[in-house]
Each structure stands twice: as C-alpha cells, then as structure tokens.
Structure 1
C-alpha cells in the first residue's frame, strides 16, 4: 500500500513537536498538520491591542496565535500556531511534585517515579530550561509579600525556557546556536521586555520552532501551516487501523473558496491538538462513526490547576512590565502557590476583563458585593480609582498574581446540541463549579494593595459569571488500565486502535499544580521511546 506519510501528527505544540522529531529520527516520514500560522519575529503583534494579529478567530479575519474558548465552567486561554502554545505561553517549565504520579487515573500504570526523571532531563535539555536571571520590580514586590506572609523560604526564581546569554554580556547580543552543537538556529539573549506572552520579537524565547520542530524539519518532517484535520478513518477492511488511516484535511482559513479538502494515506496518527482540540476532534470522529471505538471516558476528568488571576494595580508610573513573563513565585501554603506575571508595556487588552477584587461567596450575591465595593471606592477616592479601572496602562502598573492549587477537582466535557442552537454539536462542560474565590490568595492581594497604596483586582468573569480563567486545561483523554477507565494506555496508545496515539495535555491524569508544558514534553518523550525505529519493523 502506498502511503503519503508513515505518521501524520495533528498539531505542533509540546506533544506534536516532540513526536515529529523523535519519529523522524527513527527513520519515519512525518507530516505535521497545524491549524495556526507560522510566525516570524517581524510579523508578531506589537501589542495585544492588535487583535487581528494577536487573537485566533478566523471567522472575523483574525489570524493571531492566542485563543479564548468559553464554557459554562471555565474560560480557557490557549495557543494556536506553528509551535503550538509555546509561541504565547509564559516560558515556565516546572516539574510537578512526585506525588502526582500516585494520584489520578495514571497511578500504578507503570513505575512513573523511576521512569520519568530521565525523560524530564531530556525535555529540560531540549527546551533549554534554566533559572530566571532577570528579576523585575514585580518579582521584588512578590518577594517582599512572601516575607510578610512568613513564607520567604519558599520564594523561588522560575525555571524557564529563555536564553540569557553569557554572564556579563550585554542583553540582546547574538550567539551561534547555544544548544545543539551548531545544528540549531542562532539566538539572542533576553532583554527583559516582558513580551513573552505576546510573542518574543527578540529571538530569546525557546519556542518549539527553535528546538524540537526546527530539528524535526531538518530531519525531513513537513509542517503544513493553516491546515486543520477534519476526519480520520481506518484504511481497508481493518477497523482497528492496522492497515493505516486516511486523514482528511482542509484549510483553516475563513475565506470562501479556501476550504479545499485533501486526503492523506498514513500508517499512523498522533493527536497533539491540545487538550481541547484533541477532545473536540475525537468527539467528532466518534460521533460520525469514523473512529467509533473511542472510549466513553473521552471528556472525563478535565482539570485546570484550580487557577485564579488576581493582582494589584499601582498608581503612578511603575515598571511592572520589566522582566520575563513569569519570573518568580512562592508557596502561600502546601497546596497554593503564586507567581508574578506580566505583559509588555502597552499590551493592555486583557485589562478590559479586570475589575476591583471582591470578597464574598461565589454566587449571585457576590455581584452585589462587587457593586458595593466599586461604588465605595469611587466615592472615597474617585481621582485615584477611575484611572485604575481603565485598561490603559494596565501592563505597566499591575503586579499580576497567577494563583494555582494542587487540590483535586475536575469537570467533564460532553459533545451535544445546545438548546438554543440545535443545528450542530459542540463541547459542553458539566460537573461541580471550579472555585473562583481562593480566600487565602485574595487576602494576600488585598494586603499587598493596602501596603503599596494600590487597588487589588480580579477578572470580572469570576464575579459576574462565577467563571474562572485557566491557561492550563488538562485531561479529557487520560490514561487508564483499559477502555473502561481511560482513553489511552500508559504508552499513550488509543484503546481499540493500532498506531493511534495521543500526545498533549489531554493525557494528563492528575492535577499538576504547575504549568504542564514540561510534563507534556516528558510524557511524549516517554511515549515515543517505545516506538521502534522504522528499520526494525520492516
């Protein structure tokens, strides 16, 4: 049988890029289908106000790399580009505590605590993980806050995928490839502009198009940007995919006439479209009968790190935007840690979602408490509060606190018709509400605001709709002992099919409590290590 590729990979993020490189190194022909665009530094938006280049909403003609997906339980912030979420994520690459391998659906599937350290080491080397060298004003304020809370001993500089150059050299200096013995691209050292989440314009951020994906393309892997996968079916009479698959793709462009479809014959498929993207695609494929044997566990146990975005906005002209996107953090208690986060100067669009922080129960009464809080602020200090409620100047003036918890909790996703739009199906969230009010974190923000003479803030979606935001959507196609307990096995093979893998955030089986990018990378290294070289199977 003639195949277009040995393996076709859906998505080019932390799972897809790793899969592409490791499979290409083993002699397989590899095609990578990426819905988003390929970005060069000179094409990146200068600020988040450039919605056309920042947000991904092709129906409006916006072809950026940042996407917001809304559900009843959560607002998910994620990336969409060649290089996946690495283009817009905050560089943070932390290893979770060992106890996570003894929790959740993957517990006991293998000896994770012995297996994973080596893969984490490989992931750190490939992603250029190092300790942050640039502490900005926001990081220093966080250190002072940790000291006031009696938790200074837990304060840390983040582990990040950023190139800082040689000690003593001027920031922004160019170096020959510092990571891969000359096989990688030249790099420039970080200047601490805070622009990591709006796309690094200065060649310092270790995005996947500069490591895994860069090397994969030089091994022969082909990346097809602005291409989405719309169907995956087993080839021939074998319903389990043992003869391969036919994959149908279409342009991800919104423009009429560009929806031309193309079919690819491949031996195997790796789904790496992010937790949400993979879940949605697998729901569609199961629903239409293309892959009917996908486990009923699809969509179960979706986690979010129990996050809350809070902060303190300061009057005047402080430089809270200086540094890297997330430069430091500390543990408020055993289950809760807070990181200092920032956007670059002028990137204030997210300020449209920020309002005064409000105590109270996370129900409709909290709206009344919020109205009372805002009115009292306006009455008592109108000249001071009005500028702080404006989005303009938010990045420069705000210490953003990203609060994450390791406490267990999850929601489920289902694929169904909505009562108000019965003509199509979509993913819908179910289950207990995710906490939008973390009392100890909110008290920390209020205490910092009083000390600094600023205004504590939170997302207005948390108050009006009891809707938290997360950049760390995980699970939904998690591991299990069988199809009755999970969608994939511990080698990330889809139950019921041959040569069908899932390698992205959907496979995570427990709440990590930290950014999942490093763990997704390490788990994909683990999965790919079990696939033999092409010469061994032919």
Structure 2
C-alpha cells in the first residue's frame, strides 16, 4: 500500500459527475488543494461508441472488461441506468436542463422547514444554466411535430415546449475558440445534428462536464485521477473527522496488482451518484470506519417515478430521428412530464429492450398474448433493422411521492431494494401508455413497453435519487441543510443522493444547482503565514 501523508490534500472528491464537478471547481477557485477520484475512465471525444453495437465503449462492467459510459444495475424493484467516467452522467445524459416547476419538490416535508428552496435555489439554477450552456432547442422535424400533436390530443397544447439543452449549437461541424468562458474553456465544435448524444458525443458539441466545470477546475490546479475505486474512508485522528480523513482507493476492476493507495485529506466530498454514494456510506458505517453516520442511510430513494415507452411507425421510409437526443417536452398536468428521445442511426439495438405495450394487471400474460397475435412483428430476427430511425422513445416522469430503500445484500458489496413507507414506484403509468398509443396512431405504427417493465414489474430509471437525503436531524436525514453529513466534520455530500423528493423532470440541472448552493457556504481557504 502506498501512503501519501506528506501530500495532504485540502479536499478529496469521490466522483466526477454533476455534484463532484461543481465541488472540484468551486473548491479549487477558493484556493484549496483538490483531487478528484473517478472509478471510470477518461474519454476523448473520439473514444465514444459509434453505435450501440459497440458495447465495449458503451457499457460499464469492469468484471467483464467493459469500461464504457453506461452502467445498468438491475434491482428487485427498479433497474437503474447511470453514467460512468470522468464527467459522470453528463457523458451519457440527454443534454436536457430543466428547472423543476412543481411544489411537490420545493415544498416536500422532508426539507420544506429548512428553507424557502424555490427562492434559495433560483440564483444557483441561473449559475448552473450559464455554466452548462443551456440554450433553447430549435429543431422542428417530424418528431417534434408528433409531440405537438400528442399534446393537442391530450388537450394541453400550451404544455408543449422545446427543451433547454446543454449543446453548442454553432455552425455544424465547425470548431471555434471557447464560446462560453472568455477563452478559458476548450475549443468547441458545432452540433452536427446526428441525434446520438446518449451514446457519447464524438463531435465535441455536447456540453459535458469535461468541457466546463472539470476543464476550469483543472485550470485552477485540481487533479483528476481516473479509474480509482474508493474502498475505505476513515478519520485520520479524532473520531468526528475534524483532524481529516484517510481515503483508501484501488485501481478499478483489477483483482491483482490493485495499486492500493491511501490519501490523507482535511475534507471529503462524496459525489458518486445515488447508488455509488449510498453503497459507500453503508460500507463505511457497517465496517466501523464511519460509525456515526445516520441510520437513515439508504432511506428515501426515488426513481423520479418514471416509465419508458415507445412508438414505431410501420413506414419503412420514415425518419423520426431528432437533431439531438431530446428536443421536446410536454407537461400534461402539474405532476407529469414527458419527452421524446432518440439514439440516432446507431440506436437499433435498443429495439431489443422493447416489446408489446402492456398495462394494468397481468402484464406478462398480455405481453405473451400480443406476441402470439403478431408473431411477425415481434419474432422476426431482423425487426430491429432501422428501428431507431422509425421510433420515438418517451420518458415519462412524475413528481409523485413514491420511494424505496437501499440496503446492503447479505453477501458481497451489492445493494438491494426494499419497499418503503408509502407507495412504491410503479412500472405502469397510465399516462405513459396513453402517450405511446396516441403517438403510434399519429405516426401510423404500434406502441411499445419496456420488456423489463412488462415481465418483471419493475420500472427503469436513469434518474435514481436519494439514499443520503437532507433532513433536520440525523434521525430524519443523512446530511443537514448545507449537505454536511451528520456526525462528522468536513464530510460533504453533493450529488443526487441528497435530493429529498422526485423532481418530475430530468434532474441534472437540479443536482448542479444544489451543489452550487452547498459549495457557496464553504469559505475560501485561509491565507497562510506571509
């Protein structure tokens, strides 16, 4: 084991997604010596997958030699999609940057008594929009026109609007000097409208965290160490961490020659995402490394109450690919929001995870019956040829109050889900099926459900939240109003695990804004002796 006590850090950040990247930049700007540990690899634009068939560059599974940007974690009550790599979820997300509008989020009882969150977060949402380069999508093709038609049929035409996206919409394919940060950022290339954003942008147009927060953090001296997995965090002296911490990490995915390393740091920021942070907190509390952590670790886990459906046209010459991953949004009611999604020409393999549209009780039986009724549609081995070009995927999200618990499995370091108080996340949202059915009629095709949702009864989410939520006391949450872990000094959590409620929209901007707000309370590093 290599110890680095002589290179004591001011802050060590675990994770480089939206919460970790904000922490890296803001702490480095305040004069602190900062390092970031990221379990995934670092990608150049040319490293991303060209199509979804390139599983080695797309999927994450280090035990199988896969070190891509997308991790799939199947759990009993939900399947979770999450981003991996330097830049975290920004590598694979759909670029959409929404400010939550529902009071279900801002006034949820879990945190409502701590602040007027709509007012407190407003300036930080503005900062996050500026940093992530939010602009209004200007696409208006068949996919967007279909979305307007669905909204009109639902009686909410005014609820349709183009998305705010984090994409450089300059001249397509033309590279220019940094257009965002007065030349302090990297050169950027205008979006070429390929629609493959969620496979990883190969053209330099997507405003990933590598292009803004992390790039600027490095300019202020922050160091980023890729392919490092944290295995232990323990106080370096006094039990409350006020003397700092020793953080142990190993080379990701290795069984031998793991390059175990210990870093000594005055403070730690956890930002490994809801699954990663919750797993690490459970491990540290149960092993005795951080025994003072709240017993609420793993509670109040949200799925953003999502369902994923699709509609495919029967017209072989149709082209429903949008310019970028997500271009339109519809709010059919106060609690519900749905978007159109595309993976471009490279997304045909995604057709394998969709099957007949089902709903209500007995979904497995309905699923099989539809296959019997239309065997040529579902059993034809070439059915996915051109599927992505002829299909619109819909992500339907709600801000309703459903939740789960994440607990350690009996064996290994896996997490398992348990039912929590109140309703569990449902795999069937009637509004989602209605959207798919209406869209299918409009484009002249057929609707589809996720096969996992139909057969397993478990929803799929790309927006897992909670597990280390904000609370008034350690009996109610894991962190306080400033994202400080109860029971410890200089231990912050700044990712989606602290989020106390479903946001009902894609949460990336909210995670960023909440991290900005948390880091605004950390004072600058005191000046040393002259």
TM-score category of the 2 structures, normalised to the smaller one: over 0.9
Q: Counterparts in 2 of 1:277-426, with a 5 A limit?
A: 277-315=276-314, 316-361=316-361, 365-378=362-375, 382=376, 390-417=383-410, 423-426=411-414
Q: Deviation at 1:536? A: 5.8
CA offsets 1:175-221 (integer angstroms, 9 cap, x no match): 21111001001111112111110001111100000000000011000
Q: Quick one: which of 392, 397, 417 aligns to 1:429? A: 417
2:155 corresponding residue in structure 1: 150
| Equivalent position SS for 2:167 | coil
Aligned mates of 1:424, 1:304 — CA distance in 2: 24
CA RMSD in angstroms comes to: 1.6
Aligned mates of 1:357, 1:110 — CA distance in 2: 43
1:420 corresponding residue in structure 2: none
Q: Deviation at 1:407? A: 1.2
- Is 2:441 the counterpart of 1:450? yes
| Equivalent position SS for 1:264 | strand
8 Å Cα contact 1:360/1:369 also seen in 2: no
Task: Mark the runs of 5 or more structure 1 residues left unpaired by the alignment.
Answer: 418-422
TM-score normalised by L of structure 2: 0.95
Sort the Cα spacing of 1:410 and 1:389 in 2 relative to 1 into closer, same or farther, 3 A. farther
Q: Quick one: which of 120, 123, 130 aligns to 1:118? A: 123
Q: Deviation at 1:2? A: 4.7
Following TM superposition, the consecutive aligned residue runs of length 4 or more in structure 1 with deviations greater than 4 angstroms are: 384-389
Task: Mark the runs of 5 or more structure 2 residues left unpaired by the alignment.
Answer: none
Q: Deviation at 1:425? A: 4.5
CA offsets 1:278-330 (integer angstroms, 9 cap, x no match): 00011011111000011011111101111111011112132222311110011
Q: Deviation at 1:360? A: 3.1
8 Å Cα contact 1:271/1:278 also seen in 2: yes
Q: Quick one: which of 24, 27, 34 aligns to 1:23? A: 27
1:527 corresponding residue in structure 2: 518
Aligned mates of 2:432, 2:322 — CA distance in 1: 23
Aligned mates of 2:430, 2:392 — CA distance in 1: 18
8 Å Cα contact 1:305/1:512 also seen in 2: yes
| Equivalent position SS for 2:302 | coil
| Equivalent position SS for 1:409 | coil
2:93 corresponding residue in structure 1: 89
| Equivalent position SS for 1:346 | helix
Sort the Cα spacing of 1:220 and 1:464 in 2 relative to 1 into closer, same or farther, 3 A. same
CA offsets 1:430-484 (integer angstroms, 9 cap, x no match): 1154211111221231233234321111111111110110000001100111101
TM-score normalised by L of structure 1: 0.94
Aligned mates of 1:285, 1:299 — CA distance in 2: 13
- Is 2:167 the counterpart of 1:162? yes
| Equivalent position SS for 1:487 | coil
8 Å Cα contact 2:102/2:399 also seen in 1: no
Aligned mates of 1:449, 1:134 — CA distance in 2: 21
Q: Quick one: which of 106, 109, 118 aligns to 2:114? A: 109
Aligned mates of 1:389, 1:335 — CA distance in 2: 39
2:76 corresponding residue in structure 1: 72
2:175 corresponding residue in structure 1: 174
- Is 2:492 the counterpart of 1:492? no
| Equivalent position SS for 2:36 | strand
